[in-house]
A = this chain, B = another copy of it.
C-alpha cells in the first residue's frame, strides 16, 4: 500500500473560498460570519476526481493524508473567532472528501491558531476532528503571524497544552507554515522552506522531546534545507553540546516533497529510512512538467523508484510502513476496513 502523507485540498469548491472572502469582509466590518454555505457531494466529487484522485491513481498511490490548503490557513487574518470559523469550515470539507473516498483519503486538520492566542484554544477543534471525524493528524503552523515570526519557538511552553492533547490522541503534526504576508518571503519558495529549516533547528536547541517523548512531527518539503546541510546540523549540535541528531529522529520525520532526482537521492542517503515518509504535495506548490524529464516536477514517486540502491524493504517503509507507524490512527482505521472513520476515543 502506497501512502502519500502530504496532500492539500487546493481544488476546494468555490463556495468555500467565497465564504472566506465574505468572512474577511465581515470581520473588517466588525462582525463574525460563521460558515453559511452549502456544497453538494457532486461538487466535491468533481473537484477531487479530476485532480487529486486522478493523479494519485495514475501514479499508483493508494491513499493521501489530506488537509486543507496550507496557504489558505492564513492564521494572521482576523482574530481567534475568525480562525475558528474558517478552520471548522475547512476541516469539514476535508471530512466530506474522506467520507466520499474513504479508501483514498485520510484527514489531517488545520488548527484554529491565531497570533498571540494560546494554542490551547486549538484543543477542541483537534479533538473534534480526531474523535468525531476520524482525522489522523494535524498541521501545526510554527508562525501564525505568517511571515514575521512574532510568536515563541515550537519548543516554548506556550505550545505545551496542544502537545499534551496531541500525545493523548496519539496524533502527529506536520509542521507547516501558511501563506506569507511578508514581501521578503515568497510563500512556497521561501517561507515554506524556511519554516521547515527553522523548526528543525528549534528542536535541536530545545528539550521538547524530553518533556514529550511520544510527540511526533513530520517536517515537510524534504525537511527544508536540513538534509542538504546535515553536516552543519550535526556539527552545530555537537558544538552546542546538544544530543546527536539521531536522538531527534525518534520524534522527527521528513517527507519526500523534493522535486528533482539529486535532491531525493541526498534525502534518502542522509536521513535514515525509518524517518522518511513518501509525499508529493500534488496540485501544490509546483504544478508544471519538467521539460528535461517530460514528467511532473512533483512526481516524487518516479525519483524514488529510480534510486537503485534502495532495497525493497526500505522502499516499503518509505512508501507506507513509516506512515502507518507515525500515524497510528491511520493504521487503526485501515485495520477496520478503511471505510468508516475511527470510533471516538483512544485507538
Taking Cβ atoms with an 8 Å cutoff, the residues of A that contact B are 142-143, 147-153, 182-186, 188-190, 193-194, 197-198, 201-202, 204-205, 221-222, 224-225, 227-236, 238-239, 258-263, 265-266, 269-270, 285-288, 290, 297-298
Given A197-B193, A230-B260, A263-B231, also A285-B149 (CB < 8 A): no
B230 & A193 in contact (Cβ 8 Å cutoff): no
B contact residues around A151 at 8 Å (CB): 184
Q: List 10 A-B contacts (CB under 8 A).
A: A153-B184, A193-B229, A194-B198, A229-B258, A230-B263, A231-B260, A231-B263, A235-B287, A238-B288, A262-B266
A188 & B236 in contact (Cβ 8 Å cutoff): yes
B227 & A228 in contact (Cβ 8 Å cutoff): yes
Give CA–CA (A152, B153) in the complex, Å: 24
Given A153-B183, A183-B153, A266-B266, also A231-B290 (CB < 8 A): yes
A239 & B287 in contact (Cβ 8 Å cutoff): yes
B contact residues around A227 at 8 Å (CB): 228
B contact residues around A232 at 8 Å (CB): 188-189, 193, 221, 258-260, 285-286, 297
B contact residues around A231 at 8 Å (CB): 258-261, 263, 286, 290, 297
